[in-house]
């Protein structure tokens, strides 16, 4: 179990790093949005490229931080039902949900989005709007974002199994996330 917990810790570090880097895009998005609004009201003009940058940045934050959100246990849950169950049953629900719902959905979206990205990339697809941007970079974020989510789902699955086998301490009844060291110990 120790090598798997080391892999889990590596995945956690990757998604933590991505989340910490991508969060700065929110500030960039706010600056671009504010600047675009100011230019529109002051000079009565606008740019499709700047509007699309806002859209691209929102897509980047949403897609690239999905694994980070799962790492931080900030994803949507049905705690009304799970909160009444024993911790062991909660862990089993997480395991089954990951294997039978998260993994198939993520793999399906990655599989369907890759050809869409490749077609856009090979044709150097541009926005249909005047002054718009290339489309393939934003389309690449779909499979990349879901790959990061797949990685984090794998990490969470490893940690849940390690809790059940006693190879890792349970971070708590409320599912609070604790960082793990390379050997899988809660820090």
Report the domain count for the chain.
1
Query: Which domain covers residue 12, as residue numbers?
Result: 2-165
> Measured between alpha carbons, how far is 59 from 75 in angstroms, rounded to an integer?
17
Q: Does residue 179 surpass a pLDDT of 50?
A: no
Asked if pLDDT for residue 181 goes beyond 80, the answer is no
The two structure tokens encoding residue 73? 């246990």
User: Is the residue at 182 inside a domain?
Assistant: no
Instruction: Return phi, psi of residue 42, to 5°.
Output: -80, -45
Nearest Cα residue to 186 out of 164, 173, 170 = 170
**The model's pTM:** 0.84
Q: Residue 24 pLDDT more than 60?
A: yes
Euclidean distance between CA atoms 148 and 131, whole angstroms: 31
Residue 26 falls within a domain, yes or no? Answer: yes
The residues that bridge with 186 in the sheet, in sequence order, are 180
Q: Per the domain annotation, does 154 fall within a domain?
A: yes
| CA–CA separation, 106 and 135 (whole Å) | 22
CB 133, CB 127: distance < 8 Å: yes
Residue 183 within a domain: no
Residue 185 maps to a domain = no
């Amino acid at each position: 179990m120790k090598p798997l917990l080391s892999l889990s810790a590596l995945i956690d570090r990757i998604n933590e790093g991505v989340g910490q880097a991508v969060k700065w895009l929110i500030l960039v998005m706010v600056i671009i949005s504010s600047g675009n609004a100011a230019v529109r009201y002051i000079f009565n003009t606008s740019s499709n490229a700047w509007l699309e940058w806002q859209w691209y940045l929102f897509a980047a934050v949403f897609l690239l931080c999905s694994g980070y959100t799962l790492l931080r246990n900030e994803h949507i849950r049905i705690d009304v039902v799970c909160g009444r169950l024993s911790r062991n049953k909660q862990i089993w629900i997480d395991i089954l949900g990951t294997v039978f719902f998260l993994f198939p959905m993520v793999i399906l979206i990655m599989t369907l989005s890759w050809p869409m990205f490749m077609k856009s990339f090979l044709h150097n697809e541009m926005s249909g709007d005047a002054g718009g941007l290339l489309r393939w970079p934003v389309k690449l974020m779909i499979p990349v974002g879901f790959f990061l989510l797949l990685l984090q789902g794998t990490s969470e699955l490893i940690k849940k199994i390690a809790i059940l086998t006693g190879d890792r301490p349970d971070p708590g009844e409320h599912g609070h996330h604790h960082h793990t060291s390379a050997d899988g110990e809660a820090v």
